[in-house]
Amino acid sequence: MKASTLRKIAVAVMCCLVAVAARSVKDQPPAAGDALAAYIAGARSELEPRFRLHYHLMPPVGWMNDPNGFSYYNGQFHMFYQFYPYDSVWGPMHWGHSISSDLVHWEELPTALIPENEMCFSGSAVDDDGVLTLIYTGRETIAQEPFYREGQYLAFSDDGVNFHKYKGNPVLPAAPNGSPDFRDPKVWKHGDYWYLIVGSKTSDERGRVLLYKSKDLKEWEFLTVLGESNGDMGYMWECPDFFELDGKFVLLMSPQGLEAKGDRFKNTYQTGYIIGTFNYTTYEFIQEVDFQEIDYGHDFYATQTLEHEGERYLVAWFSMWEVPHPEADDGWAGALTIVRQLELRDNQIIMRPVEEIVQLREEFLMDGELHSDEETELPRATELIVLGDLSEDIELLLEGVDGGDAVRLRWEARSQHVVVERGGDERRASWRPARGATWRLFLDASSLELFCGEGEAVFSTRAYPLGGWRLTNRSRGPLHVQAFRLGASVPT
Ligand code: FRU
């Protein structure tokens, strides 16, 4: 069967699941915030902890997908996320909520949005003159094909904790061409206006992003199609974002339906960006560089970014659609990546871990040579800085001390490629070391993030080792390794 046919079947199954899930919202008693909090506290005490992460945001119980509403309000960073508390699989979407003062240590807040007639799909958050305003997609089930419709909704908070939905919802009821797929608004302010982009598709199934503007977040004027697939860029563009970075404009998004091409686009769906120029008078985005993936790992999707004090921060869902989620057996599923800082260099986004992450270092474990075939055991939460001779091939094996997943990290000197292989499934990217030749690795109880050099190539991959991690140098030559045990910074 052709991949595109399979994908169509998958989409049809997804739609049925959505319809079934939507029906079950109505069957549930309306879960008031207090009842939900009590449910979460109870279910949390039953979780199996083996794969719970130490410094990555994850759901308290149940399912998490996209980050949402990454924002700064009243002196705190806010992170919301797609959340289904009642099972460790996708279901009617709520918005979970956490805050941080440093983008590393996170505190959990009450669930911000609970679905009623609408499931609360992805969106963004802005500080509108002291009111933390969420702009999210409401997905409703309807009686006619395709049995759902999507529009943009608002919710407000005066304290950054308790939210109430706007009575005039939806503020954007339908896409200009009537497409039912009309989701994941990103809102920002420029001059006197709010701007909004939202993912959608053409009537012949090509992904596109639409641009709107508004004075008050309630009445929106459609401006233009900011970007659109010419036929080989997928059938739907999810979770768009649009921002200026080092003098260029970046359209970052998660297209569904790209065909795998050699080493590229090997995940179920991709996340990447198009670089160009933009003019706030003509609203024209002129593309200069074709779509590039922003992270080459197995589990990275649906990014959110935030600009704060001149820095552009990024976070993503640290998982993937339609793949096994081993932690789901333990009562939870899904996580977010560590926050990264972005820079544009030579028409490429460079992604490095947020500077404050060094605060997690609690113990200096080693600083020395790891000889060929030598191994060392490491705690579940560890940062490694590895330096090898890049004129030779390098191979590092990371595996569970008591079994479970094994991941191989390789440098292929001749082709200048980095390879991350998990269970025989490889992700590869070319890497031209710019200013640094080290690999910086963040290991957690069920994840691995590899930053090559200053972040010219980044891989985010979930892996499920049992016991702690064991590192073996499988290269012919020695490697210089620095290791730090990292502390915990998220609620368990
Ligand atoms: C992306 C996505 C969004 C949608 C949300 C639903 O992963 O499919 O397009 O808003 O997840 O949970």
Is pLDDT at 19 greater than 60 in this prediction?
A: no
- Residue 121 CA, closest ligand 1 atom number: 10
CB distance 236 to ligand 1 below 6 Å: no
Mean pLDDT of 272-284: 98
Is pLDDT at 13 greater than 70 in this prediction?
A: no
C-alpha dihedral sign at 148, 152, 153, 158: positive
Beta pairing partners, 211:
197, 224
Best mutation site among 68, 82, 179, 197 for ligand 1, i.e. most ligand atoms within 8 A of its Cβ?
82
* Token pair belonging to 349: 């986004």
- Residue 90 CA, closest ligand 1 atom number: 12
Report CA 439 to chain centroid distance, whole Å.
22
Each residue's pLDDT tens digit, 229-246: 999 999 999 999 999 999
- Residue 239 CA, closest ligand 1 atom number: 9
Count, residues in the chain: 492
- Residue 238 CA, closest ligand 1 atom number: 9
Residue 33 pLDDT level (bands cut at 50, 70, 90): confident
Is pLDDT at 356 greater than 70 in this prediction?
A: yes
Best mutation site among 15, 90, 113, 121 for ligand 1, i.e. most ligand atoms within 8 A of its Cβ?
121
Best mutation site among 150, 181, 184 for ligand 1, i.e. most ligand atoms within 8 A of its Cβ?
184
CB distance 186 to ligand 1 below 6 Å: no
CA of 66 to the centre of ligand 1 (A): 7
CB distance 137 to ligand 1 below 6 Å: yes
pLDDT confidence of residue 386: 98
CA of 200 to the centre of ligand 1 (A): 12
Catalytic residue of the set 27, 66, 181, 425: 66
- Residue 123 CA, closest ligand 1 atom number: 10
Each residue's pLDDT tens digit, 195-234: 999 999 999 999 999 999 999 999 999 999 999 999 999 9
CA of 19 to the centre of ligand 1 (A): 15
Is pLDDT at 348 greater than 80 in this prediction?
A: yes
Mean pLDDT of 350-363: 98
CB distance 440 to ligand 1 below 6 Å: no
With contact defined as beta carbons under 8 Å apart, do 448 and 442 qualify? yes
With contact defined as beta carbons under 8 Å apart, do 134 and 158 qualify? no
Mean pLDDT of 161-175: 98
Superfamily of domain 357-486: Exo-inulinase; domain 1 (2.60.120.560)
Mean pLDDT of 168-172: 98
* Domain locations along the chain: 3-353, 357-486
CB distance 150 to ligand 1 below 6 Å: no
Known active-site residue 241 = no
Each residue's pLDDT tens digit, 132-144: 999 999 999 999 9
Each residue's pLDDT tens digit, 424-476: 999 999 999 988 899 999 999 999 999 999 999 999 999 999 999 999 999 99
Is pLDDT at 14 greater than 60 in this prediction?
A: no
CB distance 93 to ligand 1 below 6 Å: yes
Residue 278 pLDDT level (bands cut at 50, 70, 90): very high
Q: Which residue has the higher pLDDT, 109 or 9?
A: 109
pLDDT confidence of residue 202: 98
List all residues 6 or more positions away from 312 whose beta carbon is below 8 Å from its beta carbon: 243, 245, 305, 306, 341, 342
pLDDT confidence of residue 5: 38
Beta pairing partners, 190:
193
Is pLDDT at 11 greater than 80 in this prediction?
A: no
Nearest CA to ligand 1 atom 6: 121
**Amino acid code (one letter) for 318:** F
Average model confidence (pLDDT) for the chain? 94
pTM of the model: 0.93
pLDDT confidence of residue 235: 98
Each residue's pLDDT tens digit, 52-101: 999 999 999 999 999 999 999 999 999 999 999 999 999 999 999 999 99
Each residue's pLDDT tens digit, 383-426: 999 999 999 999 999 999 999 999 999 999 999 999 999 999 99
The CATH-assigned architecture of domain 3-353 is 5 Propeller (2.115)
Alpha-carbon span 297 to 127, nearest angstrom: 33
pLDDT confidence of residue 22: 40
What's the maximum distance between 2 C-alpha atoms anywhere in the chain?
A: 66
